[in-house]
Each structure stands twice: as structure tokens, then as C-alpha cells.
Chains A and B, each alone.
Chain A
């Protein structure tokens, strides 16, 4: 499975390829903004974990402030944007109680019995204006759960207990970007290696970063899919703050493909804006000009959707946001989406552009009503 590294993955192109974990890497042009916390909070209960000790050693300049619980850490400043900015500057190390591996219940229209979320962290250092976490979490401070041994044990337990049909899929990028903290946690290594040992389970690491260096030399045995959320360049620049540029994501995806990884393409959320046709057509052309379709695991499409709470957050945070410029209507599942004619038009156009370039790749809609999903679902 593992291919030889192409030129694209040379250390010249990736100057921090071999930098030791935790060192501040030299960032490439277009790289995601590396998370460097300005404040550090540690739950009392978390202090003895080895991951805590490793992270503390990487941040010697930051005095750790000890807290009882990561839950009550909302910033107390006026103004939603200022609150979010302040919260995102702090890192919390905590112990996850309750479910570390959670069954997916995300889609009203589609059963997902074999899919799970891995809750290794919560909150994200990037700032995508459409992120559901703004309406989901008590605060936006990046929180890393340090009880890694508990997570590993639970993963073994769930996977080994699975005797049913089909393989299990574990998503590691739902409550946080899967690779945004990897320079601090190196979590990719134990996760990828754990799944490499399993025959009936697959790990999906979803990211908007280009921090792939930790992945390149791992023995993954094809059990890990690295998936990228891609968006039109205009949307990346205007809405997905601090993330890697479209080009940097494509280059990173090309690089992991060169190391034998499957790559998942997540065109989600698709954002309607006046020049969406040109934007998404250009994005697809760029992606398929570079990526190897035979190493694309699947493609998912989903238009922007928002709970009433998230819509309120967007309205409060961003004046004249593109996110709400389209024909947003309230759908049967209680979320706002673009109206059916708009959704159909977008799916039909985008799925068509994809099929023209990669006819064999599986395309699936995400969180979409059946009468609209039918446009893009299937091969």
C-alpha cells in the first residue's frame, strides 16, 4: 500500500517534516495557523497523566493554572467575538469522563449504526464561522483530554466487540480538528497504530490543517483515512479563519496519498455565495488535477446548515455574513438550510463536476432529505 514519497513530500517542501514533536515548526506559505496557547489551565485530576506532563514540558513558558473542571471556563468579557477570541487563546488539559467513544446520531435521514466519534478533544483553534461547536459547547477554549489510555482501552473494547456486518468507522474530527493539536499531543501516532492492528475498523482523521508530518512515517496498513474539508477559495479566505489555504490542503492530501493513505474529500459545508459556481468548479479542478482518484475513499457533500442557535451566533458575530446570504429556510429537522431549488442546483452542479473527473468515486450527501439526497448519492 505504501508508495514511495514523491517530490512533493520532500523536506524542502515540508520544512518541519522532521522537527521533533512540540518544537515550533517553520510554517509554509498557506499553512494553518499553528495553535500556540497564551494561557494554560489544567484540571487537578489531569496533572498526573503522562500526556499532561509531555504537553507541559512543551510549553515551559506558560504557567499552568489548576482548575476543578473544564466545563466552567467561559470568558467573562463583553462582546461575543471578544469572548470567543479570548477563549480560543487558552488551552485546557482535562480528563474526559463519560463517553470517550460515542455512537454517531447525526443524521435524521440516514442510519449510521457502524459509525462512532472519538472524543479526544473539544473546541478548535481555528475559527470557521459556520462551526456547530459555537452552538454546542459551553466555551470555545481548546480542551485536550489527556486520559489517552482510557480512550485506547475503550476503542479496543468497542472494536473487538463488533461481530456484525461491515466495518466500524471512527471519526476523529467531529468535536475538534483531528490534527490541530498534533504538534502538542502526537495523538495521531497511537490512534493510527491502534487501527492498523484492526481488521474491521477504520479511523477517519478529518482536518482543515496541513499538519500531516506526524502521519507520514506511521505504519497505517490502509486502516486510516485522512479526510479534508475542502471549500472554495473565497469561502476559505472569508469564513474559515486560521485554516490552511485550499492549495495547502490539496498539497497535504497529495502528500499523504503518496504515503499510501486513503484520502476522504468532504465538501461540507457548501456555501452559497454569488460566485459559488466559479468557486466550486475551480476548487474541484484544482483537487482532481493533483489527487489520485484511486486513493480517494469517498466524497461527501453537504450544504451549510445551522441550528437556530448557530444562526443567531452567526448573526451576532458577523455583519453581512455570506453564510446567511442564501435562501435559508427552516427544514423538517429543525435546522436552517438553503431552499430545495438552491440545494438541488448546487448538488447537481457540484456532483456533476466531480463525476466528470472521478466517475468511480463514491459520493454521498450529508444530512440531507431523501428527495434532495438522491441527486448526489451513489457512484
Chain B
């Protein structure tokens, strides 16, 4: 290990492979530029000899800052006679000893080692995942390796933590053009929540399967397009409308049943602080009845409304609907 003064022009910072040992993402110098300008370089970079000049191992932001400040030479520790794997480990251990790695950096680490080990997944899980704070599973490796397939702007958001690998996992099973459309609809700012995105994609995929079309065709339907071109909706309203539309399209029979129940329940709850709800998705055999009151008379009114409903057979009809909208319901 030698500390040397290395000409900056000799360090590869431009070739397609210049980031071979660099995991940092993004690679812009950022605030380090001001620091170097103010007080100089406090810590040398680390390089390794290459066929032509040197490869950067550690200190990408410092090297780029110095180049931007038009330094001619830079103090560098030169690691000689090290294998590619040793240099990767050197770089990785330096990284994990510092600030926490962002998702894109973890992805890069896994990519580099996967290439080096010819895709030996067991080794990645055993030796690398724990250092990155990832569960040692194939699923985790796949999830993070997928990140580099995302467009550049999404990679930046992943690095900043505004998008997560859980978001991008939703896109993974899709064809690349479907991914693009889905990402445009769901991950543009302000984006929908992870849970909402999952539901929207599931319903849209289901519709595509039913109709034998592509996911992008669902998002290109006039009803959906209109939601996105009209300015009068807030993002929240737009998401709610999209979810409602997809739900009704995907669940026509359940939606019809829900509507029947709602209409019937409204007849007895009308004008009163009374709520009558079926079990979620009509799975189960209990109806939930709740009410609010501020005065004793309101309680009496509600009790009277409940009795009246019993006399008219509304309860029987509501319970019959729980059977699934069937012959039993038609009996009443």
C-alpha cells in the first residue's frame, strides 16, 4: 500500500468500465466539492493500477471534485497486485463502514459480485447480503438486481429513498413497455401509496388477463386517460377514481351486490345516524350495524327504524344478500 501523488488524467473516470469498483450512486461530487475547495483533500483516494493508468477503487466523489477543480494530481493510495475480487471487497468494506448504502448502491454491489462469480447466488446470499443488511434469500437478490433495469430517473428516486424496491417489485413481472406505462401512472410525483399501487396493478392485470389485452391497453382506456388529462382532480381524487373504476370493472358481480346492499341499507338508514355494513367482500355471515346519538330521542328513533325494518322484511333481505345474491334473496 503506497501513498502516491497520481496524475488525475491517469485515473480512468470516463471509460464505460470506470465504475468497475465504484458502488457509490449517484456519482456527482455534491457538497464535497465545496469542502475540497475550502480545505483541500482530507483523505486520499484509493486506486489500483490498470492496463492504462489507474482504476478508481475508493473516493469517487473526491476524485470527481478534484477534477472539477482542475487539480493536476491527487493523493492516492495505490493498491498493487490485488485481484479483481480483492479490490471489490476492499471497496465494499470501505462503503459498509461509512454511511448506509442506498438501494441503488446495494444493487450495484450485488451486480458486480454476481458478474465476478458468474451468478453464484448461494455465495451472494451467504457472503454479500448480510453486509448489505439484506435477508440472505434469492428473492432479495432478485429484487435488488432488478433495480438497474429501472429508468434513470427512477434509479435516482430509489437512491434518494423516494421509491423503494417494494415499489419496483410490483413492476418486475410486467413486460418492459407495460412497466413503463405502469410507472408513469403510479410512480410519478405525487405517487400513490405502495398498497394502492399494488391494488391498482392487480386489478388492471386481472382485467388485461380477462380481456386478453395488455396492461398498457387498460391504462390507455378512455375512462382512465380522462382521469389523467383532466386538471380538476387532485392526485388523491384521481387515485380514488382510478381505484373505484378498476374495482367496478374487475368485480362486476360483487359490485352489483354491494350496490344492492347499499341501496337497501339506505332505506332504513335514511336520515338517521345509522350505518349498516356487510362483511368485507361479502365473505362471512355478519352484518355490522352501528349508530350514533346525541340525545335519548335519537336512540328511540333509531330503535323504531330498526323495528320498522324488521316488520318490512328488510333485515331478511339484507341477510339473504350475504348468501351471494341468489335465489334466497329473490324469495323476499
- Residues of chain A at the chain B interface (Cβ within 8 Å): 74, 76-79, 83, 273-274, 315-317, 319-322, 324-332, 339-345, 369, 371-372
B66 to nearest A CB, angstroms?
39
For B280, the chain A residues whose CB sits under 8 A away are: 329-330
Number of residues from B at the complex interface, CB < 8 A: 40
For B59, the chain A residues whose CB sits under 8 A away are: none
B209 & A320 in contact (Cβ 8 Å cutoff): yes
A327 to nearest B CB, angstroms?
5
Question: How far does the alpha carbon of A74 sit from the alpha carbon of B250 in the complex, in Å?
Answer: 36
Does B193 sit at the interface, judged by CB under 8 A? no
A271 to nearest B CB, angstroms?
11
Question: How far does the alpha carbon of A251 sit from the alpha carbon of B141 in the complex, in Å?
Answer: 47
B179 to nearest A CB, angstroms?
11
Closest to B256 in A: A341
Closest to A371 in B: B323
Does B210 sit at the interface, judged by CB under 8 A? yes
For B281, the chain A residues whose CB sits under 8 A away are: 329-330, 339
A371 & B206 in contact (Cβ 8 Å cutoff): no
Question: How far does the alpha carbon of A359 sit from the alpha carbon of B282 in the complex, in Å?
Answer: 31
Q: What 1/0 flags go to B218-252 for Cβ under 8 Å of A?
A: 00000000000000000000000000000000111
Question: How far does the alpha carbon of A17 sit from the alpha carbon of B208 in the complex, in Å?
Answer: 45
Question: How far does the alpha carbon of A325 sit from the alpha carbon of B206 in the complex, in Å?
Answer: 4
Does B145 sit at the interface, judged by CB under 8 A? yes
A340 & B325 in contact (Cβ 8 Å cutoff): yes
Question: How far does the alpha carbon of A275 sit from the alpha carbon of B12 in the complex, in Å?
Answer: 62
Q: 10 pairs across A/B with beta carbons < 8 Å?
A: A78-B142, A315-B173, A316-B172, A320-B215, A325-B206, A327-B251, A327-B252, A329-B251, A331-B283, A342-B253
A371 & B283 in contact (Cβ 8 Å cutoff): no
For A371, the chain B residues whose CB sits under 8 A away are: 285, 322-324
B209 & A325 in contact (Cβ 8 Å cutoff): yes
Question: How far does the alpha carbon of A342 sit from the alpha carbon of B325 in the complex, in Å?
Answer: 10
For B210, the chain A residues whose CB sits under 8 A away are: 273-274, 325-326
Question: How far does the alpha carbon of A326 sit from the alpha carbon of B145 in the complex, in Å?
Answer: 32
For B322, the chain A residues whose CB sits under 8 A away are: 371
B209 & A341 in contact (Cβ 8 Å cutoff): no
A341 in complex: contacting residue of B120, B173, B254, CB < 8 Å? B254
Question: How far does the alpha carbon of A330 sit from the alpha carbon of B282 in the complex, in Å?
Answer: 10
A76 & B138 in contact (Cβ 8 Å cutoff): yes
Question: How far does the alpha carbon of A341 sit from the alpha carbon of B212 in the complex, in Å?
Answer: 23
A316 & B254 in contact (Cβ 8 Å cutoff): no
Does B95 sit at the interface, judged by CB under 8 A? no
A339 in complex: contacting residue of B122, B251, B285, CB < 8 Å? B251
Q: What 1/0 flags go to B180-211 for Cβ under 8 Å of A?
A: 00000000000000000000001001111110
Q: What 1/0 flags go to B125-145 for Cβ under 8 Å of A?
A: 000000000000010011001
